[in-house]
């Protein structure tokens, strides 16, 4: 079990209004039409601090939710602005109760945006973002996780409210009095709001035009007292239905007495896992984070996950049981059968913002595993693949950038939102990789099987990318890093590294090594595409001897006539060899009888840290994996639900004692029992 310990800090704050509360209420009725808020109100300013000009906002009587006046924001620039209005919240708040609300009116075919800054110095920490898209969809996120997306009323006034219990990190967002949900922020602190017209993300049309009225906020301070532990943050709960999660939970000391021990449990879907923590010293307002060792399996549908801290300092209930539990509703994505989504990232060691891409690529891999494959396409550095770089470069406007299934050019931080949309889209074919490898000549032969679900016509193509993890080097491998020093916020640890990050400290993952036969794929790969049949295409290449074959992936992509990726399959080279190589032109009906010997395999075996079970030929079959030790004790048991196509099931064997285990893989009415050796 890993533990992370952070010291909190008591923060002094300028109190406005009373000894324990600060507030502002503004309806703009007292201002002259055309006047600038930054020059007329001490509570309003701009990002740069320059008021009364292009960055500022003016009072208007063109629209109003109450009375006759409001303020107006507008842009037609992809970069947003130049308006950039800041309203400070009277200090940097990390505890207490904070409520903000305002009325919005978004013009037709336009968007709107605002964010909460976490530090009193703007530009250091984005706590919360709200993007209103021109198609009528509103997005809420904390910069790391998409909280929710729903529709909002266009061309009419509506109210947004954000009600935050900073003590428990509970953010309740409401629209017109109806709660959208309760969320938690990766950075649970507020210092100001930034009203900034922009509409470029999620495929926006770059046009933003909106009015704001009846602006209000209140912060009520909190005073620590007694012994009080709060369940504060639950991490690692994303994913897709059927996958396993190992939660990470942070508790916060909201009392004055140091916390030296506690019990922590997480309950979900009728299952509870527990960690008992002793020998710690968590100071007042400090946090302590625990990584659980046991797993929970996600299920489809909206269900509660509950973290509860108890037995603080061995004394049972603490002085405030009301904040001992934290409840979130999680609704895992239910992927379309046999679907895999590909994210291609444009990056380069010269690019100072590209560490952001690396962080979010790793996040997607960690969170969505077998349903996602990332490819880092380098530009202008020693890892460049010229034709791949040219293909990506023709579709993106700058670096870093990402294409998810070759859709819109987006920032890497937006890959999750795009993934959620794509993973539920049913593919037209299931894809399977096979391979043969000659270690003497470095020749790799790849077979890509496409099991078509629909009869198709047109120019459908296959492209195969080869990637490598763990890539290191010397000259040209130092990474430019705009996040050094933390002035541009946290970014997966890059804020703790220098600029540039020396090559000796850099390890690059997901690195594109080759694209076969080219970025756009092989034209008219399949002569016919009939529903219910499988067609195979072969590709051959010679690997560079400097590449580490054990760390490489084969990513086969089915590209539709429009140039988008319809579906994909990603395997290590060893996994593809295990699947077997099929000759080109091989065709058979997909209703062929399932064979446990031919369709189920396990590798590596013996295992140390993990093993994987590969299953092909699934056709709406329920999949269950059970593992027993030599005494017959059940040590692993997961039901993966009904699956179609091929799947890879990863099993963490780190906690298994060395020895021999019996692995029972159940596919529908079929069953295979294998022996697994754990070293």
What pLDDT score was predicted for residue 630?
Answer: 82
Under DSSP, the state recorded for 501 is B
Specify the pLDDT at position 2.
Answer: 26
Would you place residue 14 in the very low, low, confident or very high pLDDT band (cuts 50, 70, 90)? very low
- Give the C-alpha distances (Å, rounded to integers) separating 22 from 15, 121, 156, 217, 218: 6, 19, 30, 8, 6
DSSP type of residue 333: B
Cα separation of 130 and 135, whole Å?
15
Segment 63-90 shows an average pLDDT of 97
Tokens of 101: 């609300």
Neighbours of 73 (CB within 10 A): 25
Per the listing, tokens 């959208």 go with 180
Determine if the pTM surpasses 0.85. no
Lowest mean pLDDT among 140-144, 286-290, 306-310: 140-144
Q: Is 412 helix (H, G, I), strand (E, B) or coil?
A: helix
Q: What is the pLDDT of residue 586?
A: 63
Per-residue tokens: 204: 């926006």
Phi and psi at residue 142, to the nearest 5°: -115, 20
Which two three-digit tokens encode residue 289?
């984070």
Q: Please give the Cα distance from 442 to 411 (Å, whole number).
A: 36
* Residue that wins the pLDDT comparison between 432 and 70: 70
Q: What is the mean pLDDT of residues 261-268?
A: 97
The whole-number pLDDT of residue 600 equals 83
pLDDT cut 70: percent of the chain above it = 95
Residues ≥6 apart with Cβ < 8 Å to 375: 342, 343, 344, 345, 465, 467, 510, 512, 555
Whole-number Å distance between alpha carbons of 100 and 86: 14
For 358, which DSSP code? H
E strand segments, 551-598: 552-559, 565-572, 588-589
Q: What pLDDT is stored for residue 595 in this prediction?
A: 65
Q: pLDDT tens for residues 558-596?
A: 999 999 999 999 999 988 888 888 888 765 544 445 566
pLDDT, the chain, mean: 91
317-339 per-position pLDDT tens digit: 899 999 999 999 998 888 888 89
How far CA 418 is from CA of 341, 412, 564, in Å, comes to: 10, 10, 13
3-state secondary structure of 395: coil
């Amino acid at each position: 079990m890993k533990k992370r310990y952070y010291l909190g800090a008591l923060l002094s704050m300028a109190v406005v209004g009373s000894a324990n509360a600060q507030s502002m209420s503004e309806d703009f009725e007292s201002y002259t039409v055309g006047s600038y808020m930054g020059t007329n109100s001490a509570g309003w300013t701009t990002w740069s601090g320059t008021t009364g000009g292009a960055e500022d906002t003016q009072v208007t009587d063109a629209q109003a939710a109450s009375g006759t006046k409001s303020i107006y924001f507008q842009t037609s620039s992809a970069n947003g602005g130049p308006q950039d209005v800041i309203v400070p919240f009277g200090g940097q708040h990390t505890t207490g109760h904070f409520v903000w609300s305002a009325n919005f009116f978004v013009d037709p075919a336009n968007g709107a945006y605002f964010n909460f800054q976490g530090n009193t110095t703007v530009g250091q920490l984005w706590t919360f973002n709200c993007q209103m898209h021109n198609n009528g969809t509103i997005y809420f996120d904390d910069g790391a996780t998409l909280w929710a997306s729903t529709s909002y009323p266009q061309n009419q006034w509506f109210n947004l409210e954000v009600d935050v219990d900073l003590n428990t990190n509970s953010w309740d967002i409401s629209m017109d009095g109806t709660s959208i949900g309760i969320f938690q922020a990766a950075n649970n602190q507020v210092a100001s709001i930034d009203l900034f017209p922009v509409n470029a993300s999620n495929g926006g049309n770059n046009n933003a035009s909106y009015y704001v009225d009846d602006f209000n906020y209140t912060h009520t301070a909190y005073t620590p007292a007694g012994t009080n532990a709060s369940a504060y943050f639950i991490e690692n709960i994303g994913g897709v239905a059927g996958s396993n999660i190992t939660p990470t939970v942070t508790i916060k000391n909201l009392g004055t007495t140091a916390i030296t021990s506690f019990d922590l449990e997480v309950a979900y879907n009728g299952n509870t896992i527990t960690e008992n923590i002793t020998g710690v010293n968590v100071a007042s307002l400090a946090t302590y984070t625990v990584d659980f060792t046991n797993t929970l399996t996600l299920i489809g549908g909206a269900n509660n996950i509950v973290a509860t801290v108890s037995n603080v300092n061995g004394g049972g209930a603490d002085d405030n049981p009301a904040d001992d539990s934290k409840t979130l509703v999680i609704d895992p994505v239910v992927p379309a059968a046999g679907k895999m989504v590909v994210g291609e990232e444009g990056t380069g060691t010269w690019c100072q913002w590209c560490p952001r891409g690396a962080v979010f690529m790793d996040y997607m891999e960690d969170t969505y595993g077998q349903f996602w494959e990332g490819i880092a396409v380098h530009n202008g550095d020693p890892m460049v693949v010229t034709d791949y770089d040219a293909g990506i470069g023709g579709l993106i406007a700058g670096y870093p950038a990402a294409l998810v299934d070759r859709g819109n050019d987006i920032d890497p931080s937006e890959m999750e939102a795009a993934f959620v949309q794509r993973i539920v889209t049913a593919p037209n074919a299931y894809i399977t990789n096979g391979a043969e490898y000659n270690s003497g000549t470095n020749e790799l032969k790849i077979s890509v099987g496409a099991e078509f679900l629909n009869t198709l016509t047109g120019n459908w193509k296959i492209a195969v990318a080869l990637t490598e993890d763990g890539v290191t080097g010397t000259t040209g491998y130092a990474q430019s890093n705009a996040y050094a020093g933390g002035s541009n916020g946290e970014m997966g640890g890059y804020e703790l590294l220098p600029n540039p990050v020396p090559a000796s400290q850099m390890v690059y993952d997901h690195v594109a090594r080759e694209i076969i036969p080219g970025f756009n794929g092989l034209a008219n790969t399949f002569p016919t595409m009939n529903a219910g049949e499988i067609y195979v295409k072969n590709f051959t290449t010679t690997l560079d001897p400097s590449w580490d074959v054990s760390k490489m992936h084969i990513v086969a992509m089915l590209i539709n006539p429009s140039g988008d990726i319809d579906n994909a399959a990603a395997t290590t080279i060893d996994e593809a060899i295990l699947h077997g190589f099929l000759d080109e032109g091989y065709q058979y009906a997909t209703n062929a009888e399932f064979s446990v010997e031919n369709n189920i395999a396990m590798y590596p075996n013996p295992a140390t840290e993990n093993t994987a079970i590969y299953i092909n030929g699934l056709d709406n079959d329920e999949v269950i994996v059970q593992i027993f030790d030599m005494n017959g004790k059940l040590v692993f048991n997961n039901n993966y639900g009904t699956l179609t196509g091929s799947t890879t099931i990863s099993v963490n064997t780190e906690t298994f004692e060395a020895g021999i285990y019996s692995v029972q893989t159940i596919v529908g009415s079929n069953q295979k029992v294998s022996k697994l050796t754990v070293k």
